[in-house]
Amino acid sequence: MRILDQGILYDATVAPLHRRFCAFTNTTTLSDGRVLVAFHCGSAKEAPDENVLMRLSADGGRTWEAVCDGLAPLTVDGKLGSWHHGRVTELAPGHLLGAFWWLDRSDPSRPMINPATTGTLPNHIFLMDSFDDGRTWANRRAVDTRPFPSVALMGAPLLLADGSIAVVCEAWKTYYDAGVGEHSAILSISHDGGYTFDPATVVAHDPANRLLFWDERLAVDPETGRLIGMLWTHDRVAQLDVNVHIAWSQTADGKAWSYPTDAGFAGQLPRPLPLPGGRVLCVYVHRHWPPSLRAILSPDFGKTWDVQGELVFYEHPFGPQAGMAGQREFTDYYEDMRLWNFGLVEPGLLPDGDVFAAFYAGDARSLSVRWTRLALK
């Protein structure tokens, strides 16, 4: 692997104050070779004025067109909310399906995560369609995540082998729930384009409630239809992150999953990208020292990984990340997440076999959106 090119998609250092902090990038490589990147933008990494912006490049990242400068405000049950982030999939040439996470901001003084309970603000996931490269979005419909009352959006909608749509989420506590939270990585699957949903499928959950399989990142192998899932894994008892874990669907419909196993390397937000011939690329955040973004290859659909051959494609210049020097109280971990100033790299496979990936990076004053293009051989 090697770096072919790099650049800045959105320079937040010169942006207006209400758009200085970008995060939660999503890369969609379109079938015609263009690249669409959606990302969070607001006055802080988590703020009531946050929204989803989108940029489109037809020349491999050299220039970018602003196709969406934010979704229209939405009131749900009389409560005004914010669009925290969005994830986009190309269902067919000219047809994009977006999943967008809405948070209740009726009381703007409430942070996204309740510091007393670690529960999440009331929220909804909505699907919408675009037929003009993300410029406009219509046909809004809510994702049914029964039986889980509070969820977070974790990835772009997946197009399964049978034509079903799967929405990638994680389930956690409601805002004022003071109990010990039980975490599950889940899928909400629809057979009619996202208008009705089956009861949620559990992808990963520790019955002992010790391991938290955070921020699941799932992908479909286009050759076999099989799903692969990679999970940032935290040991709540040890108060430490442990190695990335990995799970595989036992059926192409995404309804049955193997229990997650240790992938053999440490990191956060591991995102798998299936490649021809059963290979998988994983891009991930290495937030321990030295803080960086890395790419690693598997020759056998995630069973083994070439740790010695991994590529560091971004090195963070601003020192250690908050809370990563040792054990950390669980309630403090969420505050650390608000302070982290690089991460969430999202890759897409280009028609020529290269990989295009977008991510956010910056400092306490601003977070910009950057990109890199990688050659795999």
Distance CA 377, CA 2 (A): 8
pLDDT of 60 higher than 80: yes
- Per the CB < 8 A criterion, the answer to whether 157 and 194 are in contact is yes
Cα(216)–Cα(186) distance, integer angstroms = 8
Q: With a cut of 80, say whether residue 332 has pLDDT above it.
A: no
In this predicted structure, the answer to whether residue 322 has a pLDDT above a threshold of 80 is: no
| pLDDT at residue number 107 | 97
pLDDT at 63 (0 to 100) = 97
**Please, which residues have CB within 8 angstroms of residue 129's CB and are 6 or more apart in sequence?**
95, 96, 97, 98, 137, 138, 139
- Cα–Cα distance between 326 and 241 in angstroms, integer? 9
C-alpha closest to that of 294 among 271, 328, 320, 274: 271
- Look at residue 201 and tell me whether its pLDDT is greater than 80: yes
Question: Quick one: average pLDDT of 60-72?
Answer: 97
pLDDT of residue 320 exceeding 90, the answer is no
pLDDT of residue 324: 79
| 253 neighbors 231 (Cβ within 8 angstroms) | no
The residue assigned the tokens 């909608």 is 157
Domains and CATH numbers, the chain: 2-375 (2.120.10.10)
In angstroms, rounded to a whole number, what is the distance separating the alpha carbons of residues 368 and 352? 27
Q: What is the pTM of this model?
A: 0.96
**CA Rg value for the chain:** 19
pLDDT single digits (tens) 18-28: 999 999 999 99
